[in-house]
Amino acid sequence: MFALMRALTYSAIFIGFVLVFLPGRVLQWAGVTRPSVIGAAQITGAAIVVLGGILVVACVVSFALIGKGTPAPYDPPRRLVVRGPYRWVRNPMYWGAALALGGAALFYQSVALFAYALLFLVVMHALVLGYEEPTLRGSFGSEYEEYCRRVSRWLPFAPRRRKTNA
């Protein structure tokens, strides 16, 4: 339960800064205001935000309950998390955040916020390649290598089965 509290605390800070504060500054900088009419784009955008948020929360809970840690680099999971959303793609938390940002961009009809969402993915890709994957290889070794062979870094698919010598 303590791991869940740590994970939720870290996530609230991350979400508050990266998915609320910074996008708010982008919208302010771009001069975008709340739509005066709620139409199909706003309803669809809000639904995408909710789906992205649900995915992020599922990832945080998986880190806490399965991995016994948090998404934070200073308090990483003690076990490799390969279940929950991580069964389908290795970086679902970033997809959830990007979906939330993209949904907000659709809600506000903001090209600037959409560009922020794309920049977020580019930065996260660099973080994954430069820090996360080497750290996970060092922490979990062959278990992580096998996971990488079965599950795609970015494209969610059904897990690949290991070939057996039969």
How open is the CA angle 23-8-73, to the nearest 5 degrees? 80
**From start to end of the chain, where are the E strands?**
none
| Predicted local confidence at residue 93, as pLDDT | 94
Q: Is residue 54 part of a domain?
A: yes
Q: Is residue 166 part of a domain?
A: no
Interatomic CA distance for residues 148 and 84, integer angstroms: 16
Task: Supply the range of the domain harboring residue 9.
Answer: 2-150
Of 42 and 156, the one with more pLDDT: 42
Among 98, 109, 95, residue whose Cα is nearest residue 156: 95
Q: Is residue 161 part of a domain?
A: no
Model pTM? 0.86
Number of domains in the chain: 1
Q: Is residue 103 part of a domain?
A: yes
For the segment 34-73, what is each residue's pLDDT rounded down to a tens digit? 999 999 999 999 999 999 999 999 998 898 889 888 888 8
- In this predicted structure, the answer to whether residue 166 has a pLDDT above a threshold of 50 is no
Q: Is residue 159 part of a domain?
A: no
Among 64, 84, 73, residue whose Cα is nearest residue 4: 64
User: Would you place residue 163 in the very low, low, confident or very high pLDDT band (cuts 50, 70, 90)?
Assistant: low
Percent of the chain having pLDDT more than 90? 68
Q: What is the mean pLDDT of residues 111-137?
A: 96
User: Would you place residue 20 in the very low, low, confident or very high pLDDT band (cuts 50, 70, 90)?
Assistant: confident
Mean pLDDT of the residues in the chain:
90
- The lowest-confidence range among 6-20, 44-58, 98-112 is 6-20
For the segment 67-93, what is each residue's pLDDT rounded down to a tens digit? 888 888 888 889 999 999 999 999 999
Interatomic CA distance for residues 149 and 151, integer angstroms: 6
Q: Is residue 156 part of a domain?
A: no
Q: Is residue 155 part of a domain?
A: no
Q: Is residue 158 part of a domain?
A: no
